[in-house]
Amino acid sequence: MTAAEKRRAAIRPVCYRAEDAAVALGLSPDAFREHVAAHVRAVPLGRLRLYRVADLDTWADRRARLPLEGER
C-alpha cells in the first residue's frame, strides 16, 4: 500500500454519495432513495448530492427501536 493509499484509508469521510450512503446503511441504492434520502439533508454540488455521515447516523438512531417482546 502506498503512502497516499494509507492516508486515504485513515480518513473518515464527512459525506457520502448516495450509492456509498446506501452501502454504509446496508441498503440498496433504490431503498436508500425510497426510504432515507428524503429524510436527511443533502449537500448539493451541481447535480451531485452528498449525504453527511452525521445525518445518516442521526437517521439510523431515530429509526432504531428495541425489539418487542417475542421478536428477535
Task: With beta carbons less than 8 A apart as the criterion, state whether 53 and 15 touch.
Answer: yes
* Residue 14 scores a pLDDT above 80: yes
> What's the pLDDT band for 6 if we cut at 50, 70, 90?
confident
Specify the 3-state DSSP secondary structure of 42.
Answer: strand
Share of the chain above pLDDT 90, in %: 72
User: Burial level of 23, CB count in 10 A (0-12/13-18/19+)?
Assistant: middle
CA distances from 5 to 34, 47, 69 (A): 34, 28, 47
pLDDT tens digits, 50-71 = 999 999 999 999 999 877 666 6
**Mean per-residue pLDDT of the chain:** 91
Which pTM does this prediction carry? Answer: 0.78
Question: What is the per-residue pLDDT for 69?
Answer: 67
